[in-house]
A = this chain, B = another copy of it.
Amino acid sequence: MSIHVRVVTPVTTCDPLTLDSLQRLARSDLVLTTVEIEKGPPSIESEYDEALAVPDTLRRIVEAERQGVHAVVIDCMGDPGLRAARELVSIPVLGPAEVSLHTAAMLGEGFSIVTVLEKLRPLFVRMARMYGVTERVKSVRSINIPVLELSNNPSILTKSLCDESLRAVRDDGAAVIVLGCTGFVGLADAISAFLRAETGIRIPVIDPLPLTVLTAAAWVGAGISQSQCSYRPEVFNGVERV
């Protein structure tokens, strides 16, 4: 039986790059579908954007469960709606920030996050605290390109990510790089190759969305989902869900 993972994009703009990258993960036994929200912000670059994105994101996640999907991945490094969604459905709901930060903590002693804008730094600091990995965060760096302009100049984007990642390794002591925006999907290999060329050693670069989709499949295969002790079942649209 194949595993069906739904990627819910909590913004109203659809990035074809993401779809392409994700389809490369599909296997005979792994079905990937994607959906974006209808009502919410065009991009997420603040706590406020997240707050606006959450209600429709939750609706999409409940819909996924009703359609028989086995796990949901929220397509944003702010993990918007993660905790509320886990109260609403029985299937696993995964956020790329939570999965990436814990995975980075397993791959090396310290890691850095490289994201789009400096203004997102405090959001990552708060998530690290929430997820219990503060001690492992060496730095949060940014490339100073807004989300909606990421596709404007691919070569500048890649170069900026390479440069900031190298600074994180050399100046901040990062042993692992976590890409801090799911819009960076597909660029990890180039950055990793650059770091290897510059430092002579292999430094993992986490591409959060593919890693989280594959981790979701692993959780489904292992028969685990978020605990209802921590996320008590909740009414949604008048229907008790337990």
Contact = CB atoms under 8 A, between A and B. Distances in A.
A94 B107 CA distance: 9
Contact of A214 (B99, B221, B226): B221
A149 interface: no
A90 interface: yes
B51 A230 contact: no
A218 interface: yes
Given A47-B231, A54-B54, A99-B106, A218 B211 contact: yes
Nearest to A119: B232
Given A133-B132, A215-B218, A229 B106 contact: no
Given A29-B27, A126-B130, A214-B218, A203 B227 contact: yes
A193 to B, nearest CB: 11
Contacts of A88: 48
B201 A233 contact: yes
A228 interface: yes
Q: Which of A28, A84, A229 has the most CB of B within 10 A?
A: A229
A136 to B, nearest CB: 7
Nearest to A210: B222
Interface string A212-239: 0011011101111111111111111000
A103 interface: yes
A122 interface: yes
Interface in A134-165: 134-136
Given A29-B29, A222-B210, A51 B54 contact: yes
Nearest to A236: B48
Interface string A144-188: 000000000000000000000000010000111000000000001
Nearest to A46: B234
A223 B190 CA distance: 12
* 10 residue pairs, one from A and one from B, having the closest CB atoms: A108-B227, A175-B229, A214-B218, A201-B228, A119-B232, A108-B230, A175-B227, A47-B84, A211-B222, A51-B84
Given A52-B55, A105-B131, 16 more contacts: A25-B221, A47-B234, A48-B58, A48-B87, A51-B54, A109-B122, A110-B125, A129-B132, A174-B229, A176-B229, A189-B223, A201-B232, A202-B225, A210-B221, A211-B224, A214-B218
